[in-house]
Amino acid sequence: MAGYVPDWTLQRKGSTDQARHQQKIKEALKQQLPDLITEDSIVTANGDRVVRVPIRNLEEYRFRFNPWQADRPAQDQGELKPGDVLGQIPGPTPRGPGQGPGSPGEMPGIDYIEANVSLDDISDLLFEELGLPYLKPKVQSILPQPAFKFRDISKRGLMGNLDKRRSLKENLLRHARQGQPGLGQWNPDDLRFKTWVETTVEDNNAVVIAMRDISGSMGDFKKQTARTFAFWMLRFLRSQYQSVDVVFIVHHTQAREVSQDEFFQLGESGGTKVSSAYELCWDVIQARYPPHRWNIYPMHFSDGDNWSDADNRRTVEYLEAMLPVVNVFGYAEIREGGYTSTLMSAFSKLRHPRFQTVTIGAKQDIYTALKKFFPRTEEG
Amino acid sequence: MDSRSYPTDQQIWDLAKSQGLDPFAVHCEVVPASVLYEFAAYLIPGRMSHWSYGKAYHAMKTRYDYGLNKLYEMVINADPAYAFLLDSNSDLENTFVRAHVMGHVDFFRHNVHFSQTQRDMLDVVSRHAERVRQYEFEFGKPEVEGLLDAALAIQEHVVPPNPPLTRRERMPAMLRQDPEWSQLWKPETSTRSYEIRPHDRGDRDVLRYIMTFSDQLDDWERDILGMVRDEMLYFWPQMRTKIMNEGWASYWHLRLMRQLHLNDADVVNYARLHASVTAPIPYQLNPYAMGYAIFRDLAERQGDDAIFLARSVDDDVSFIRNYLTESLVADLHLYLYGVDHDQIVVKTRHWEEVRNQLVTSLVHAGIPVIEVEDGDFHRRGELYLIHRHEGIDLDLPYAERTLQHVQTLWGRPVHLETQTGGRHLVLSYDGQTHTKATL
């Protein structure tokens, strides 16, 4: 073809509409977030686990025949005989992880939509909804440090920033596609360049003081909920701060500092004195985390069955002392019944913007609780 | 690579003419994979935007990137016809593809089912795209997208042989409306439905019916329904001649390639290409293989006149019914498979059963026949649709969700009568809740 050659790189309707489709998947996932974040296989995985989430809204519905009622004509090389079993019929409503036998991809007519969702995807979606209120610059963040981050790859760039590894791969791929395995002639299209952005690194730190009631009344559901909540809270704070310290405190009538594993596993019997935990918390702050240098997030999980009203009063006193220096103090009451605990009613008299309480009665409430503790605000 | 020369576009076109084909003029364009796959996802370049096309594009492009399948070309039914070829094809491959394209273009031109198609569809779809963009700007992207979601859900329910509507027919409401006079005796539009909606029966053009008689739709919405319908009418003949069209093109790419003076290596290469195009696909039918085998068989038995006649007057249903013989079913290794006690098993290789089932599956392009029974059902302007049941039930969960889309367009409660397991059933949706009633 001589003469005019159109510039096909300007053609991008496909990618625009593809992006819209991806966005719709994201929206659909967002609606399922309350369930997704409590998915055990996600929370307990090391981060590389992927769950398959069916997305109903994105099927292209139309009037169609029941896909398995009529026999289907097909073609082979003559090897199949009548009666040969080709597979199992896939379930009409696949749900969650773990598909039945047989791979639906090979059979025609089964086109439900599933998204593969990793921990990172869920984190991204969730953290978009969360914010860090009352974040104050702490003394330690003296000057923002400039930094360069190589975080994108493009087809054009300076030769000095050539990404040799990726370029080689493109070359191999292109030739493989043309049926010639191995490295071949270079084409400008193969080259990949690193591009960078300038960022500033804020030097700031946060500490989470996680407290958990391990008295006899805390059952399995409560343990699980505290664990899931703490998981997302830590993950969120770690995504926001350069470094996050965590202090784990458990308590029944007495409080003590424990390791992370102990924190999630311990289950003991005995009564409950919440003030013991708050006292230890206050000590830890004063001794190790001076408030002018640290962003402090104390978080307490309990079922609220405290020892006595006298202890409730002591607890509130400690709380009032701490509130001016912390970023957010969270109290999550995990209970399956519907009544209000004495501790919660003692707390309910306290009105302070940095004190947040929430009652978790079902798994899905974790999502609401996270949003309440870390509300997204204009400046957050 | 050797430096031998391959025929030009014009030479291949001349060759096709000399062999008896009569294609439109063909404009060939070589494009990169991303562009070819985009055209294939939208079925025609320049079409309006919708996420479902983006989804198709993503799926196709991903399969290509992983080397799972390769598209060699894409032809547009237009006068002159357009053919898009992949830039990574070798010269021999693109010669082969050009020969294949000649078959398609001849088919578009001479098969009677295409006689009503708009040959300027490339321009038409870009005008459509432009108008949709304008509506997005004027009325909002989410509104346009929601309407398209609904319109595309029922786009297949149009009546194919009709020539595309003229603009005048398409927007009856707008033209009928005389803003000054109508307000004198029609204080609210909602009362209007009472008087004018006829009790038509058996209208299969559900999309046109809704476009014309829904009192829920604004003019721009009617316009979009009209565009979706025009585009579907253009694609409908392609849906009902898939096997024939690919078969005809495959038959002719071989016949034309054999006329070229090629060296041995090229002959082996194009034979290999032909074999890969006509290779069986697991659990499916390969339309290239099937159509090619039938045309070749027919040519051998009855000569060129017979294949040219079939190319002109048949569609897939009549083509298979008339020309799929017992020996072809055996040669193509056709079989039926289906469900038996929760297992998918091979049912039979008996040629008549295979042929009959194949024909059944191709009737109405494999799409259920839905008719409008009443546009004023209950005397409350509700829409009553009937599925003309011919042995196979509808996918009920899908039907319910589709009914929601119909309701979006109609505005009042909608009903669909169908059969399931031998019982008559009416699915209804009133905008909030689904109900099911047995008749």
Q: Burial, B289: exposed, middle or buried (Cβ in 10 Å; 0-12, 13-18, 19+)?
A: buried
**Residue A116, number of CB atoms within 10 A of its CB:** 9
Are A97 and A21 in the same domain? yes
Please tell me the predicted confidence (pLDDT) of residue A5.
59
Spatial separation of the C-alpha atoms in residues A79 and B329, rounded to whole Å:
14
Per-residue pLDDT for B182 more than 60?
A: no
Instruction: Please answer yes or no on whether A1 and B392 come within 8 Å at the CB atom.
Output: no
Per-residue pLDDT for A70 more than 80?
A: yes
Are A186 and A109 in the same domain? no
Per-residue pLDDT for B416 more than 90?
A: yes
pLDDT: is B2 or A87 the higher one?
Answer: A87
CB of B161 within 8 Å of a chain A CB? The answer is no
Q: Considering the domain boundaries, does residue B70 fall inside one?
A: yes
Please tell me the predicted confidence (pLDDT) of residue A292.
82
Are A184 and A216 in the same domain? no
**Can you tell me the ipTM of this complex?**
0.87
Are B311 and B404 in the same domain? no
Are B390 and B311 in the same domain? no
Of A77-86, A153-162, B75-84, B390-399, minimum mean pLDDT range: A153-162
Q: Considering the domain boundaries, does residue A135 fall inside one?
A: no
Are A194 and A231 in the same domain? no
Write the CA distances from A200 to A146, A242, A245, A325, integer angstroms.
4, 12, 22, 27
Please tell me the predicted confidence (pLDDT) of residue B316.
97
Per-residue pLDDT for B307 more than 60?
A: yes
Q: Considering only the beta carbons, identify the residue of B346, B387, B395 that sits closest to A67.
A: B395
Q: Which of B269, B298, B323 is the last residue of a domain?
A: B323
Are B32 and B91 in the same domain? yes
Token representation of residue B327: 């020996």
Are B32 and B96 in the same domain? yes
Instruction: Please answer yes or no on whether B35 and A64 come within 8 Å at the CB atom.
Output: no
pLDDT: is B11 or A295 the higher one?
Answer: B11
Token representation of residue A102: 């047989």
**Residues of A with CB below 8 A from B57's CB?**
14-15, 17-18
Per-residue pLDDT for B262 more than 70?
A: yes
Nearest CA among B358, B239, B248 for reference residue B292: B248
Spatial separation of the C-alpha atoms in residues A271 and A318, rounded to whole Å:
20
Per-residue pLDDT for B386 more than 80?
A: yes
Q: Considering the domain boundaries, does residue B160 fall inside one?
A: no
Spatial separation of the C-alpha atoms in residues B426 and B400, rounded to whole Å:
11
Q: Which of B156, B339, B400, B420 would you mutate first to test chain A, the one with the most A CBs within 10 A?
A: B339
- Structurally, chain A folds into a number of domains equal to 3
User: What is the gyration radius of the CA atoms in chain A, in angstroms?
Assistant: 28
Average pLDDT over residues B113-141: 93
Are B101 and B13 in the same domain? yes
DSSP conformation letters of B181-201: HHHHH-S-GGGHHHHH-----
Q: Considering the domain boundaries, does residue A312 fall inside one?
A: yes
Are B106 and B16 in the same domain? yes
**Residues of B with CB below 8 A from A89's CB?**
339, 342-344
Q: Considering only the beta carbons, identify the residue of A18, A66, A78 that sits closest to B333.
A: A78
Q: Considering the domain boundaries, does residue B328 fall inside one?
A: no
Average pLDDT over residues B287-296: 96
Q: Considering the domain boundaries, does residue A77 fall inside one?
A: no
pLDDT: is A233 or B234 the higher one?
Answer: B234
Distance from CA of B55 to the nearest CA of A (A): 6
Instruction: Please answer yes or no on whether B339 and A89 come within 8 Å at the CB atom.
Output: yes
Please tell me the predicted confidence (pLDDT) of residue A139.
55
pLDDT: is B183 or B405 the higher one?
Answer: B405
Q: Which of A7, A13, A77 would you mutate first to test chain B, the one with the most B CBs within 10 A?
A: A13
Q: Considering the domain boundaries, does residue B222 fall inside one?
A: no
Are A179 and A327 in the same domain? no
Spatial separation of the C-alpha atoms in residues B382 and B292, rounded to whole Å:
48
Q: Considering the domain boundaries, does residue B192 fall inside one?
A: no
Q: Considering the domain boundaries, does residue B98 fall inside one?
A: yes
Q: Considering the domain boundaries, does residue A322 fall inside one?
A: yes
Are A273 and A246 in the same domain? yes
**Residues of A with CB below 8 A from B346's CB?**
80-84, 86
Average pLDDT over residues A28-49: 72
Per-residue pLDDT for B339 more than 50?
A: yes
Please tell me the predicted confidence (pLDDT) of residue A226.
81
Q: Considering the domain boundaries, does residue B340 fall inside one?
A: no
Distance from CA of B358 to the nearest CA of A (A): 6
Average pLDDT over residues B189-211: 65
Per-residue pLDDT for A214 more than 70?
A: yes
Whether the Cβ atoms of residue A183 and residue A127 lie closer than 8 Å to each other: no
State which residue of chain B sits closest to A79, comparing Cα positions. B333
Average pLDDT over residues A254-278: 81
Are B17 and B93 in the same domain? yes
Average pLDDT over residues A83-87: 88
Write the CA distances from A233 to A125, A135, B103, integer angstroms.
14, 16, 64
Percent of chain B with pLDDT over 70: 90
pLDDT: is A2 or A369 the higher one?
Answer: A369
Of A258-272, B50-64, B92-106, minimum mean pLDDT range: A258-272
pLDDT: is A7 or B90 the higher one?
Answer: B90
Range of the domain at A242: 205-373
- Place A241 in a pLDDT band, splitting at 50, 70 and 90: confident
Are A124 and A238 in the same domain? no
The pLDDT tens digits for B314-338 are 999 999 999 999 999 999 999 999 9
Instruction: Please answer yes or no on whether B344 and A89 come within 8 Å at the CB atom.
Output: yes
Are A229 and A188 in the same domain? no
Average pLDDT over residues A44-57: 63
Please tell me the predicted confidence (pLDDT) of residue A342.
81
Are B257 and B405 in the same domain? no
Write the CA distances from A290 to A49, A79, B55, integer angstroms.
38, 77, 53
Angle between the N-to-C axes of helices B33-42 and B51-65, in degrees from 0 to 180, rounded to the nearest 10: 140
Range of the domain at B60: 9-111+241-323
Instruction: Please answer yes or no on whether B35 and A11 come within 8 Å at the CB atom.
Output: yes
Q: Considering the domain boundaries, does residue B123 fall inside one?
A: no
Average pLDDT over residues A295-314: 84
Please tell me the predicted confidence (pLDDT) of residue B82.
94
Q: Which residues pair with A357 in a beta bridge?
A: A331
Q: Considering the domain boundaries, does residue A138 fall inside one?
A: no
B-contacting residues in A 3-42 (Cβ below 8 Å):
8, 11, 13-22, 24
Q: Considering the domain boundaries, does residue A181 fall inside one?
A: yes
Instruction: Please answer yes or no on whether A86 and B337 come within 8 Å at the CB atom.
Output: yes
pLDDT: is B330 or A380 the higher one?
Answer: B330
- Place A188 in a pLDDT band, splitting at 50, 70 and 90: confident
Q: Considering only the beta carbons, identify the residue of B53, B283, B345 that sits closest to A74.
A: B283
Average pLDDT over residues B128-137: 95
- Place B2 in a pLDDT band, splitting at 50, 70 and 90: very low
Q: Considering the domain boundaries, does residue A85 fall inside one?
A: no
Please tell me the predicted confidence (pLDDT) of residue B361.
94
Nearest CA among A149, A292, A272 for reference residue A222: A272
Distance from CA of B95 to the nearest CA of A (A): 14
Instruction: Please answer yes or no on whether B344 and A11 come within 8 Å at the CB atom.
Output: no
Are A194 and A317 in the same domain? no
Please tell me the predicted confidence (pLDDT) of residue A334.
83
Are B282 and B427 in the same domain? no
Are A233 and A173 in the same domain? no
Average pLDDT over residues B159-166: 53
Per-residue pLDDT for A251 more than 70?
A: yes
pLDDT: is A365 or B199 the higher one?
Answer: A365
Per-residue pLDDT for A156 more than 90?
A: no
Per-residue pLDDT for B179 more than 60?
A: no
- Place B163 in a pLDDT band, splitting at 50, 70 and 90: very low
Q: Which of A7, A10, A17, A93 would you mutate first to test chain B, the one with the most B CBs within 10 A?
A: A17
CB of A293 within 8 Å of a chain B CB? The answer is no
Q: Which of A186, A201, A216 is the last residue of a domain?
A: A201
Average pLDDT over residues A299-323: 85
Q: Which of A75, A95, A169, A180 would you mutate first to test chain B, the one with the most B CBs within 10 A?
A: A75
Are A187 and A236 in the same domain? no
Of A206-220, B17-31, B288-302, B353-367, minimum mean pLDDT range: A206-220
Please tell me the predicted confidence (pLDDT) of residue A55.
67
CATH number of the domain within which A232 lies? 3.40.50.410
A-contacting residues in B 172-231 (Cβ below 8 Å):
none
| Torsion sign, CA atoms B175, B180, B186, B190 | positive
- Structurally, chain B folds into a number of domains equal to 2
Are A209 and A343 in the same domain? yes
Q: Which of A201, A216, A247 is the last residue of a domain?
A: A201
Average pLDDT over residues A136-157: 66
Instruction: Please answer yes or no on whether A77 and B333 come within 8 Å at the CB atom.
Output: yes
Please tell me the predicted confidence (pLDDT) of residue B249.
97
In the sheet where B334-340 sits, what is the strand order?
A72-75, B334-340, B343-348, A85-88
Q: Report chain B's mean pLDDT, rounded to a whole number.
A: 88
CB of B368 within 8 Å of a chain A CB? The answer is yes
Per-residue pLDDT for B152 more than 60?
A: yes
**Residues of B with CB below 8 A from A102's CB?**
344
Spatial separation of the C-alpha atoms in residues A336 and A357, rounded to whole Å:
16
**How many residue pairs from chains A and B have C-beta atoms closer than 8 A?**
192
pLDDT: is B227 or A93 the higher one?
Answer: B227
pLDDT: is A55 or B210 the higher one?
Answer: B210
Percent of chain A with pLDDT over 70: 77
Q: Which of A174, A201, A228 is the last residue of a domain?
A: A201
